[in-house]
A and B are shown apart, each in its own frame.
Chain A
């Protein structure tokens, strides 16, 4: 623990007093000590960031504050007065509101109905709705949070839905607002808008607690930042006096390389070619509209885009999981037939490996033991058995090798897959696909829900594959990840590849505009583009 810094000492008694004070908070879940003697003080009228890896105990701590869990021991003070928060209703009464990572909205309700839900004035709805409409109008003006009160939630954008969540908390009189990973689902533009709203909230005297794993956001907007690691609060510092590198080190407990270290690509012959691909979703709506691109040996091509713009369907189609309407996929010079239920198997046989976007739903059978997942999809290979029978010893041997090579922890191939952490599950999938020595590797969301330490490892493995002369297609909603890994970036919007960019020169602002479907050559939008990336 040589990285330990003096706690809270860096933040002196603030002028406006403390909004929230937590003292010696402890919470156990069975054998897991999720929060160990946590001390945290949050000054009123500030934006306070909380960072930490998955499982560091951030969410547990905030859930205790919001009344979802009760602490085993410890004291909570709100505005200086000791508080006993047994459920979310009491938290709301104390002026603590929460915007969850997954929105707590009813999709087929109107904005107004969602705002009123749980905060109705009387048995009949009409008076409540009328009051809410007036109040909403005032809040929207005060905080520049515009939404149509009569719009149905499922019809509005994710950014708008998030505003509804914020308005919901404000309508209930929240003075302290907790935001859990608020930018995960937003476009860069929407994230900028959100930060502007948060700044307005701060200017109006509200307190904001921002939970995130994006250090850039912490640096851009917070006043103070607390770092958690393995259930403990390891530091609270002024944001202006720290750096992303220092925060990352505090989070992981060792030095971490934030930038991916790679040499320039040395592309060879074309390995994967996609021509005029058209793919429809389950409802028959076209999601990929006439997409063509090629990937050469030894290069990583990244597809950037806000989620839901056809990337998933594109991946599923190239890997044989979803039938294409028209178009051709050429692997290593030969057209690849992907139709039918065994399309995915044929793709694998032909040398196209796939790390799916959702490892728990598509990459693993989480109830299987590790070794069973380690050969999943390749179980028909002669190496793992003959005819109807598995050669379990051979499969376990392969699994053990993979676990060792990819540093999967715990290194127990008989453990149920669901018991591994997200990062280690991802390593299991990557190991399986990479160890089959494919020509082309298709990776969706390589580090979604993966810890910083494991991200570094996974990124390095991907670069290593590239340098071995494989063609890699990378789809990620993390723009930073695409920018640091890819040698070429294709931007997808509404099922079409709207542009190509060089990661070395393209700014985040330019990419963000392309991702939002705004043609950067159109004169009207040049002003926005020139604002460039976040400070």
Chain B
């Protein structure tokens, strides 16, 4: 394989990892605060739909993004009300969100646009376009480093850069700020937080608000950046893979980034390998290749992770009693 092929696979890796990474970081805030979040998928899907629909109607990608984040946030707060305030089962609250999103997006899509649940294809201004970083074209001619900069690093959507910047931001917030200290504490031992005079409920809501906003970014990425309009079930289980990545990364931001890049790479490879003639075996059926990232996810999670111990208070609603 020459440099161009490698670069194109890596370029696809970055594109495909971005929604995973945003969703994974979203889950990190929630789970570090002690709220298991299996509803990442549903929130992304709802955001993708809202972003696609609003962008299609208004013709503005920015309005679409806002709508995606707002809908994701509203969904998160609904989930939070069930899981935090009403002390419901967190898994069931998350599953309910997933089912609600799957049904509502198709139903509303069909009712409003009559295109089989899809939103209309977006015009030029309705989606984000790739950003060319300074000097990308000028430096393209420099051997090796030139193409890496101009093709791999430059030329992505704004949301891609936001996702990777969020890794650094999250690391800082988690380990260097008062908010992060309390967030981690509330996921490990909420009683300690309560007796220190801090509201556990407030702290957990603050965490899931961030989760909602990040899920909104991830969802919008599908419909108004990577894609051009919303399609049925367009998140295709990425929310669950993000959750798997979060566990694989042991709830830490930088490992989460590398895990998401790995999953993104497998996905990129899968696309590349379709119709590719392997020695001895010949052409592998498309379905088998497409299943590859998912199979590897299972293998990685089952085989290489060791014992993943999550936040100790995860999954348990906090009740103030002694």
* Interface of A toward B, CB cutoff 8 Å: 59, 63, 68, 87-89, 92, 98, 100, 102, 104-109, 113-114, 116-120, 122-126, 128
Contact = CB atoms under 8 A, between A and B. Distances in A.
B191 A104 contact: yes
A104 B195 contact: yes
Contacts of B189: 104-107
B178 A104 contact: no
Interface in B184-226: 184-185, 188-189, 191-198
Given A92-B197, A104-B195, A118-B197, A109 B184 contact: yes
Given A92-B197, A106-B185, A109-B185, A124 B192 contact: no
B252 interface: no
B193 A118 contact: yes
B295 interface: no
A116 B195 CA distance: 13
Given A104-B189, A107-B188, A108-B188, A119 B181 contact: no
Contacts of B177: 123-125
B182 interface: yes
25 contacts: A68-B195, A68-B320, A68-B322, A87-B197, A88-B194, A88-B197, A89-B197, A104-B192, A104-B196, A106-B184, A106-B185, A106-B189, A107-B312, A109-B181, A114-B192, A117-B181, A117-B182, A117-B192, A118-B193, A119-B196, A120-B178, A122-B178, A123-B177, A125-B175, A125-B181
A361 to B, nearest CB: 17
A118 B312 contact: no
Contacts of A128: 178
A59 B321 CA distance: 12
Given A87-B197, A104-B191, A104-B196, A63 B322 contact: yes
B178 A109 contact: no
B257 to A, nearest CB: 21
A100 B188 contact: no
Interface string B168-180: 0000000111111
Nearest to A119: B196
Contacts of A122: 178
B197 A126 contact: no
A128 B193 CA distance: 17
A117 B193 CA distance: 8
B93 to A, nearest CB: 24
A384 to B, nearest CB: 36
B275 to A, nearest CB: 48
A258 B180 CA distance: 51
B181 A116 contact: yes
B192 A126 contact: no
Contacts of B195: 68, 88, 98, 100, 104
Which 6 A-B pairs give the minimum distances between C-beta atoms? Answer: A118-B196, A89-B197, A104-B192, A120-B178, A104-B195, A106-B188
A324 B176 CA distance: 46
Given A68-B322, A108-B188, A117-B185, A123 B193 contact: no
A118 B198 contact: yes
Nearest to A125: B176
Contacts of B175: 125
A380 B180 CA distance: 54
Contacts of B194: 88
Given A68-B322, A123-B177, A125-B176, A109 B188 contact: yes
A108 B311 CA distance: 10
A100 B180 CA distance: 25
A88 B189 CA distance: 16
B82 to A, nearest CB: 25
